[in-house]
Structure 1
């Protein structure tokens, strides 16, 4: 089935908002497709994720540049800054390992959750519970350590379940661990980069002939619209979430996730 330019715009906006807000992009994309009565090809879904990745890279371009410099041009950096960004890179690598193991192990098991209303409700419920718990913890001030990176990486791996929010579960866990909010949000977002790239490459390489044949069913304009809308909206949403976390209002999203979980649960039994 084709995706027209209006549908691609809406899907891109949904992806851009929900990829970074703690409400699950995959879950909302699944709901949006159910509403439109369409099922987008894997390749179109990849384009949307690459769009939000582009927005993320644009937002954290300074940090990414310094990570790159710490490896390739270390002499161009001051000692303190060099240590900071080499340590950040090490933590990202440590967090990526459990994410990759869990995601690849469970991806095929959880693929069926994408279009099952009952399972979507379960994922939103889990996200809501994790986010709600953060309301009972004071603002942290700790720096991220290796153990934190492993735990957050494990949490990110389980977000392969369609409606478990990646940002919701990783940031919530970090807040429970009393990590400084600024460090936590930056680490959570930067940790998502290898996950998104790896997942996208994996999905692309595993496309079968039937999935490859659907790529041409969607107009190029729809691909471009989906990419641009997800990138631009995603960039804006990152700024919004940082502000929300700094103001201690992340738990507000728990009510949305829990309400949506209840609605979907009731609907699944009708």
Structure 2
């Protein structure tokens, strides 16, 4: 990659990782339209590190409280925060299982442009349906274990490229009656163990592959991804309750149509 490609890909990853618009749908466009080479596993790892650090830093207060409460719960001291921590762990399990069982299928058969285009449109429409379906008055603390598992199963579906992990988990939260802010907050907190697990697996593969890496490129990619992801999360959480999901729905439909036009027709 040259420096321009590095910056563009890092910005795309950072801005799209946490918006309900599918990062995979965006990352496929530059290489296909501009003939860019695959950025490689090492660069993917660095971008995920940047995104992970961004969401941890934004929710640093909540993360500390959840960790402290979770460890305290192991000694029998239970609080609303420890309950939420256990719900996040429960909601992460389906994605772990799906990743272990379906990774090969997803990385080959389901990575085609037509799949990404179709899922971008279909789950965009589902997001629209969930957002217009009241009432949405609960916060994440009110979730039952069954509801948390439902959101976790939705997150597992996001292993299919184009679905959008944040998009489908926010959709599931809205369907359960969470406010937009609460649905987004639970989705982002769920992303921490999910991205951490995915990044760990990618790192293991990278070490096993024994490929040479250009460390300054990885560092720069991580920094750009961190900044873009943090800015994205900050403004998304500020405006989501007032703005709603319709702008993202419209964007997803337009993106899906572009993908179909470019790769299928």
TM-score, normalised via structure 2 length: 0.89
Asked whether 1:269 is paired with 2:264, we answer yes
Partner residue in 1 for 2:29? 31
The answer as to 2:94 corresponding to 1:98 is yes
Equivalent-residue separation in structure 2 for 1:63 and 1:31 (angstroms):
35
Please list the CA deviations of residues 133-160 of structure 1 after superposition, one character each: whole Å capped at 9, or x if unmatched: 1242125123222111111111111111
In the alignment, structure 2 segments of 5+ residues that lack a partner are none
Q: Measure the CA separation in 2 of the matches of 1:257 and 1:100.
A: 26
Q: In the TM superposition, what are the counterparts of 1:1-270 in structure 2 within 5 Å?
A: 3-36=1-34, 37-72=36-71, 83-112=79-108, 116-142=112-138, 143-207=142-206, 211-213=209-211, 215-216=212-213, 219-270=214-265
Deviation at 1:111, TM superposition (A): 0.9
Whether contact under 8 Å (1:144, 1:183) holds in the other structure is: no
Q: Is the 8 A contact 1:130 1:168 kept in 2?
A: no
Root-mean-square deviation (Å): 2.1
Unaligned runs of 5+ in 1: none
CA contact (8 A) 2:13 2:27 kept: yes
Q: Name the CA distance, whole Å, in 2 between partners of 1:225 and 1:202.
A: 21
Please report how far the alpha carbon of residue 234 of structure 1 lies from its aligned counterpart in structure 2 after TM superposition: 0.4
Q: Which moved more, 1:129-138 or 1:160-169?
A: 129-138
CA contact (8 A) 1:103 1:160 kept: yes
For these two proteins, the number of residue pairs brought into alignment is 258
Aligned residues of 2:92 and 2:152 also touching (Cα < 8 A): yes
TM-score computed with the length of structure 1 as normaliser = 0.88
Distance 1:131 1:243 in 2: 19
